[in-house]
Amino acid sequence: MKSRAKIIAVLALIELLGACSGHKPVAQKAGTAAVKPQVQTNPIPYYLPPPIGQRTQEDILHIYGNYATHKLKPYFTKAKVSYPPRELTFIALKQEMKLELWARDSGEFQFIRNYDVQAASGVSGPKLRQGDKQVPEGIYRIEGLNPNSHYHLSMKINYPNEFDLFHAWQEGRSKPGSDIFIHGDAVSIGCLAMGDEAIEELFVLTAQVGAENVKVVIAPRDPRFYPLEADANLPEWTTELYSMISREIKALSPRVNSAKTGL
């Protein structure tokens, strides 16, 4: 009897060990459906930007659009201007090293915010010739957006415009210069260097509004506080140019002084 009991105990132990150590699949009960493994058939899409040199304006909007819009919208809300607006005006003040952003849907332009200009080479006075490293002065338009700039991003202004070309022709200046940009980084050889974060906002906003709806006014200083007067060493036509610039800036809003108080 004892030997028989031992045999039964050994067999029971072997069966128990097999049950604990095995990895056999559980038998499917009759009438139940098999559970399929979860397979992700529609992975979450992601954006991989092309390398610098191959980027388009659409790529820049994809990379920086949401972030720039998120940063700008509160300023537009405060000014009671929809985003994006219908028109923009950038006022660049060389002496103050500021660039003001103005916008409107209809009616008067409203002050939105200003930016510090990180670098602007040259001195007061219009640009006259290639290589003088002067930031031009006048009333311009954005004629192109460069998503592959050596200075992060850039926006080309239409210098020389008709006014510049006419006076260059009158004075026999065949090379008044070209390739003037508003760009990122903090280096200037005749351009307005805004830093990378600021140019991301300005680039995105200009792309959303349309470059044809953006005006750029560049002044030697703020004519709302200090009258623009041409030095004796500047061309005679500078007086006419400064009069045009002053009218353009002062016409933006009769409430400009109260708007600037909160800068």
Which CATH superfamily, name and number, covers 57-261?
L,D-transpeptidase catalytic domain-like (2.40.440.10)
Q: In the annotation, is 62 catalytic?
A: no
Q: In the annotation, is 70 catalytic?
A: no
Which secondary-structure segment (H or E) carries 139? strand 138-146
| Confidence (pLDDT) at 97 | 98
Residue with tokens 């002065």: 137
Its pTM surpasses 0.85: no
- Calculate the dihedral angle through the C-alpha atoms of 150, 156, 157, 161, rounding to the nearest 10 degrees: 100
In Å, how far are 69, 84, 147 from 62, measured between CA atoms?
Answer: 12, 16, 12
C-beta of residue 93 within 8 angstroms of C-beta of residue 219: yes
Choice among 23, 62, 152, 183 that is catalytic? 183
How many Å apart are CA 29 and CA 27, to the nearest integer? 6
| Sequence-ordered list of residues with C-beta below 8 angstroms from that of 109, at least 6 positions apart, any chain | 87, 89, 102, 103, 252, 253
| Confidence (pLDDT) at 12 | 45
C-beta of residue 100 within 8 angstroms of C-beta of residue 91: yes
Distance of CA 253 to the CA centre of its chain: 25
| Sequence-ordered list of residues with C-beta below 8 angstroms from that of 212, at least 6 positions apart, any chain | 141
Report the first-to-last Cα separation within the chain, whole angstroms. 103
Spell out, as residue ranges, where the chain has pLDDT lower than 70. Answer: 1-46, 253-263
C-beta of residue 101 within 8 angstroms of C-beta of residue 93: no
| Confidence (pLDDT) at 38 | 53
Query: Domains of the chain: which residue ranges?
Result: 57-261
| Confidence (pLDDT) at 48 | 81
| Confidence (pLDDT) at 255 | 55
Choice among 20, 23, 70, 191 that is catalytic? 191
Mean pLDDT of the chain: 86
C-beta of residue 11 within 8 angstroms of C-beta of residue 4: no
Residue pLDDT, tens place only, 34-70: 444 454 555 556 678 888 899 999 999 999 999 999 9
